[in-house]
Amino acid sequence: MSRKYRLYQIDAFTKEKFTGNPAGVITNADGLTEKEMQKIARELNNSETAFVFSSDSSDYDVHVRFYTPTREVPICGHATVAAHYARAVEMKLGTMRLFHKTGAGVLPVDIVHEDGDYRIIMTQGKIEFGELVEGVNKDVLLSALGISEADIQEGCPIQIVSTGHSKVMIGIKSASTLNSLKPNYDMLSKLSESIKCNGYYVFTFDSDNEGILIRGRMFAPAIGINEDPVTGNANGPLGAYLIHHKLAAHNGSAFSFSAKQGEAIGRAGIIDVEADIENAEPVQVRISGKAVIAFQAELIL
């Protein structure tokens, strides 16, 4: 007997189709095997595809699993926005909070119904500051990115940071340098094996828009994503990093900013980041954004 699945292609962190970050979403994934999910993710060939399963526990409303074209990952920012945007449209939801089970734990998602559309707010996982990338590993990283020590922004140590899916934070001085990067993906992939982190977020404060604090690019070739257009699990940890290293002005209890990503590959999008602060340190991070349905279809297996 054939099985029918509701399939969406959602562009996240944008309201303009074919910009922002595309994610596949299946909103009724019950019955899919891991092998089938991996094949679907590879077929769609987005950086991530989200599969929404029914809950089997009173602790959460849905279970969401995330796959790149090559493997499962614990959580994904833009695919979280995409998955819950698709569900909100499909189910005509109002403003509400729900909880989803992910590989990073059970986390809240807020759906805000406004002006006939939706904004999705994703609370991210535990903030963890990992090792600094120094010595030989730093030399390899700079070589792989084609930049030098002189390009690094003062006060920005190269560090692994996570809110559920770790990224290397690399602050540089110039937007022109950012947009001209042509990384050596093989070198970055091999370095990921050494430092146990598969994503590299290169960012700059050099912005041409006063409403945009950060411009960035994110590379994760080790998991099949040479460049990700707009990355929730990079900009969220970045918010924590900026507070931790005293690179952000805030009121002592909260910090918020907007980032623009994807310009260099023609898929620009805007992501909003909020962080709660206690004793001058970040304690929780949320990202939010809008989305648009690029297309929807029925997948028959």
Query: Residue 240 in contact with residue 127, Cβ under 8 Å?
Result: yes
Residues with Cβ < 8 Å from 180, sequence gap 6 or more?
A: none
> DSSP per residue over 21-86, as a string?
EEEEEES--TT--HHHHHHHHHHH--SEEEEEEE-SSTT-SEEEEEE-SS-EES--HHHHHHHHHH
> DSSP per residue over 104-115, as a string?
TEEEEEEEEEET
Catalytic residue among 16, 48, 134, 274: 48
Query: Residue 228 in contact with residue 238, Cβ under 8 Å?
Result: no
Query: Residue 92 in contact with residue 130, Cβ under 8 Å?
Result: no
**Catalytic status, residue 48:** yes
Q: What is the set of active-site residues?
A: 48
